[in-house]
Amino acid sequence: MALGDDVLRLLDEQSRDWPMLAEGLAALGRVRTRAMALPHFSVRLQCNPRRIVSSGAKTDAASIAERRCFLCPSHLPGDQRGIEFASRYLILCNPFPIAPIHFTVPIMQHVDQRIAGRLSDMLELSRGLGERFFTLYNGPRCGASAPDHFHFQACGTGFLPIESEIEFLVRRYGMEDQPAVVAVRDPHRPFYLIESTSAAEVERAFELLLLRLPRRDVESEPMMNLLCWWLGDRHRLVVFPRRSHRPACYFAEGDARRLLSPGSIDLGGVVVTPVESDFDRLTESEIVSMFTEVCGESV
Ligand SMILES: [Zn+2]
């Protein structure tokens, strides 16, 4: 697992020679967390004020056009170094980490966040990094703070509650769908699980699934979040179809406002709350509502 070792070495070096990352990791070490047992799965709230940049990000076309893209290779901070993957991507340490091992993996050209034709890259990245990592993809209106620049993320395994709950959820709510696909009909957080030893089979199953998921118009992709693992002998892909970008509480006024802008990590069970008072006040029923509002109605 040379790539996995290389990126961990990069993280180790960059945490010593890049002050911004050192500060990000130190801040992550101080975050408060709170466990919540929801009716069907568990969640860990993470009070992470530095994530306000991402959770509060304006992702409309005009705001995006005004800012300098932070994922373009020519705009990276001077101290930031990366490892090339597949001659097309850079693996970079995330200076605003949610997990202690947290990388951003942008493609080297400035092209839109759009998964079509790139799932094979995600499967190859997961396999290349090995079993100590998982990879994720946030759709352009599903948690990605740079919807104008294609990127994946990669984190260390053992971080997301869903990792240890997936077999239980499949037993309890799973229904055979198409070959290699199980529809997991959890009423609050439905998803599809695609598993195969063959990357080509996962890609085929994913393409068929995309044809069935609702989309706003012919141009845009279905709203979704993806989590991907290499399990040593097979690929595992979780597809969360989405209904909405942000829950209603995000747009509420005054005391009712909760800054929740879920992406793949949140849907995997680590819900990031950048605002301290949200972290202190959020109830289990508010979190259940967030999941039912943003996740797909039916799988
Ligand atoms: Zn860019």
Distance 123 CA to ligand 1 centre (A): 23
Predicted pLDDT at 271: 97
Going from the Cα of 75 to the center of ligand 1, the distance in angstroms, rounded, reads: 8
Beta bridge partners of 90: 84
The CA distance from 229 to 155, in Å, is 10
Helix, strand, coil content of the chain in percent (nearest 5): 35, 25, 40
* pLDDT tens readout for residues 279-297: 999 999 999 999 999 997 7
Chain-centre distance of CA 256, in angstroms? 26
* 69 Cα: distance to centroid of ligand 1 (angstroms): 4
Q: Cα of 249 to ligand 1 centre, how many Å?
A: 30
CA distance 250 to 290: 10
Summarize pLDDT for 129-173 with one digit per residue, the tens.
999 999 999 999 898 888 999 999 999 999 999 999 999 999 999
For residue 95, how far is its CA from the centre of ligand 1 (angstroms)? Answer: 17
Q: What confidence tens digit (pLDDT) does each residue in 121-138 have?
A: 999 999 999 999 999 999
The structural domains of the chain, with segments of one domain joined by +, span: 2-56+68-162+204-213+224-294
Q: Could you give the percent of the chain with pLDDT greater than 90?
A: 84
pLDDT of residue 199: 98
Q: Which residues surround ligand 1, an ion (CB under 5 A)?
A: 69, 71-72, 110, 149
Q: What is the mean pLDDT of residues 220-242?
A: 97
Q: How far is the CA of 82 from the centre of ligand 1 (A)?
A: 15
Residue 147 CA to ligand 1 centre (angstroms): 9
CA of 233 to the centre of ligand 1 (A): 35
Decide: 178 and 192 in contact? Cβ < 8 Å: no
Mean pLDDT of the chain: 94
Tens digit of pLDDT for each residue in 85-125?
999 999 999 999 999 999 999 999 999 999 999 999 999 99
Indicate the pLDDT class of residue 76, thresholds 50, 70 and 90. very high
Q: Are 299 and 280 in contact (CB under 8 A)?
A: no
pLDDT of residue 66: 79
Nearest-CA neighbor of 100 among 17, 16, 8, 19?
Answer: 8
Q: What is the pLDDT of residue 217?
A: 82
pLDDT bucket at 1, cuts 50 / 70 / 90: low
pLDDT at 180 over 80: yes
Q: How far apart are CA 97 and CA 112, in angstroms?
A: 23
Q: What is the mean pLDDT of residues 198-206?
A: 98
What are φ and ψ of residue 17, in 5° steps?
-110, 5
Q: For residue 62, report the distance from its CA to the centre of ligand 1, in Å.
A: 15
Where are the alpha helices (H) located in 57-174, listed in sequence order?
61-66, 119-129, 161-173
Distance 50 CA to ligand 1 centre (A): 22
Can you say whether the dihedral through the CA atoms of 286, 292, 293, 294 is positive or negative?
positive
pLDDT of residue 158: 97
Q: Tell me which residue of 293, 129, 124 sits closest to 199, measured CA to CA.
A: 124
Ligand 1 centroid, distance to 71 Cα (angstroms) = 5
> Nearest-CA neighbor of 146 among 106, 196, 102, 193?
106
Sign, CA dihedral 49-22-132-82, equals positive
Fold for domain 2-56+68-162+204-213+224-294?
A: HIT family, subunit A (3.30.428)
CA distances from 112 to 61, 67, 153, 170, 288 (A): 12, 15, 15, 33, 31
